Chains A and B, each alone.
Chain A
Amino acid sequence: MVDSIHPTAAAPSTEVRRGPEPVKPRQQRWRRRRLNRYTGAPLVLISINLLLFVTFFVWPAVTGLLYSFTSYTGVGTAPYVGADNYQRLLEDEAFYSALIRTLIYTAGVVPLTIVLSLGTAVLLVTDYAKGKVVARIIFFLPWLISPIIVGVIWRWMFGENFGLVNYVITELGGSEVSWQSNANLSLMVVIFAAAWAGTAFNMLLFVAALKNVPTSYYEAASLDGAGSWAKFRNITLPAIAPTTFIVVLLSILHSMKEYALFAAINDGGPGTANNLLVQYIYTKGFERAQIGYASAASFVLMLILMIVAIVQLSMNRRKES
């Protein structure tokens, strides 16, 4: 802009040299002013999130870490107890059973959800299936239903004395299955319910990924005589791998935190057999007011979640390289 004001650029070299000299500092100043000018606006724009981030994220994270070394009960003083909470936690059998139950639940629900959501997504994308508009709405319906209501729906179907499933089983000549009083069967019902409810959102992610696979790949493969399965395995799966990675990661993190579904289906029962980690934390922290101890358990859960995320990220990186 400044150069165009001085049309002397084409003039003798002495003039040219003189030209840029006064321009440079002006440009620098302009640039600096430009940067300075834009501190106020972005600060205002992020202010709400910044305030909330400090209040509801940094503050509880810091106090939580501090409380985990005390025997704070929510009122009065918070006596320092060192690593006692963590030591007790690692010696608590109930904690281990909650941890193992959480891992079993995750190992059950994640693969099932992935298979179901990828399967439904493929059906919704393929040209072969008919009636996709209706199917899409039905598949997506469970996303709208809260975990509590999903729990109620499945509890209603799998009721031991009154449920439809046991009714059908006895009608077919079988004997009633103890869906509620057997801990493993009860966990199975929760896994089915969670996979049923978790399909919709992941399906949406898979549908978006499947639509982005270039059709030319499939056409080329067809010309080479590849079958449907070969195409799916060698073209589709590698092409959607980034989405699969996200879906797996989110599903694992989500299922490690499940509570509402268990609360509604069997209240983490029978007894405390199906108490997962979050329910364990909730019971300790809020029903027994052991805030310090619950904070320690929270940080162990956080550590596990972080390990899961880091392991997954590094595995993904190794696969890519």
Chain B
Amino acid sequence: MKTKLITAAVAAMVAASPAVAELTFTSLSYRTGPYAANGIPFADGYADYFTLLNERDGGIGGEMVNLLECETGYNTEKGVECYESTKDQGTLVYQPLSTGITYQLIPKVTADGIAMHTMGYGRTSAKNGSVFSNVFNYPANYWDGASVAINHLVDLNGGDLKGKKVALIYHNSAYGKEPIRTLEELSAKHGYDLSLLAVDHPGQEQKSQWLQIRRERPDYVIMWGWGVMNQVAIQEAVNIRFPMENFIGVWWSGSENDVKPAGDAANGYKAVTFHNVGSDFPIFDDIQKYVVDAGKAAGAGDQVGSVLYNRGLYAAYLAHMAAEKAQEISGNANISQADMIKGMEALEITQPLMDKHGLAGFGPEFSVSCENHGGPGLGAVQQWDAGAGEWSLISGFEPSDGEVIDALIKEDSEAYAAENNITPGC
């Protein structure tokens, strides 16, 4: 009886949610749970950018943007619930910010004909657009990140990593395991020794891993962490006096939240990135004027300009560009979910375009095609300056090792195609 009452009540509510005729985007955010510290700035940046579009430009191409937000708590079951509750409202693109949820949604979005953009996370082999027709991971993916980190080490060592010891400390999940294959292949190519150290969710307990690092004395440590794991790892590295400039995180392990708890000792910590840092771009003036000062900032409004805020903003910017492209292709301002996929496939980001939107030099130039959903895979290295309290880029956006990565992507995507009876094609 209770069940029936509840279900009846839920039915009434679902029916009551309004139908909208605007461009709908969905932010699958996590502002609660063990990963909230990282989820909040991203969600804020994502929301603020769309608020800016609505306030300043009146939406995209004259169509207002309706941003739905759904809390996943980084939990796959809630992620599915969010997806199901928002897909019928015409969401144009999903950006779940969780590799676990991405894996869940890949088959679902493909069956439902909706685009998904996993910027710098998710399934790396989705770069092969002929197999993963609805999933995009431009401008860079995990394997690019691993390769850019190794390239940086190669540069530091004058082009030779032979005999060096590299340790990977990773979140023991699908996310953390992603770079292992690439790092192994690269280790065969460059001749370094790789050791793997897994940290279980949520990552507060890392004493034994760092004890091992202290014992084995690797030359470099690469980190694939998220949430509280990052802060703990950096603190532990400080505790064993591991030289910070030899410690490189992936882009998900390189935000202010991660380095600040360790104080001055975190000075020199590095992370890979695929977009620029700081708030020294014209667009931030507009955000201040139209969003923050107008009292419309998402969340507490205190995250503007932080690394993950910028990433959320960049994700929203790329969605905006794809939507404009889709409007241009279809000749229709009110684009459909299928149009959006075509827009993403034809996406081209150039410096003049970024200049025009107040984001000069914010990210690399790249273009997407039906075969290549991942762009060129450019990445840069950023370093933390604890004195000034800010990140700065210490390299330009440089390409990853395409030779190694493309072969791995081909292999993995073909395995997926065979498993799921997909005939690759564009």
Whether chain B is bound by chain A comes out as no
Instruction: Mark A residues whose CB is within 8 Å of B.
Output: none
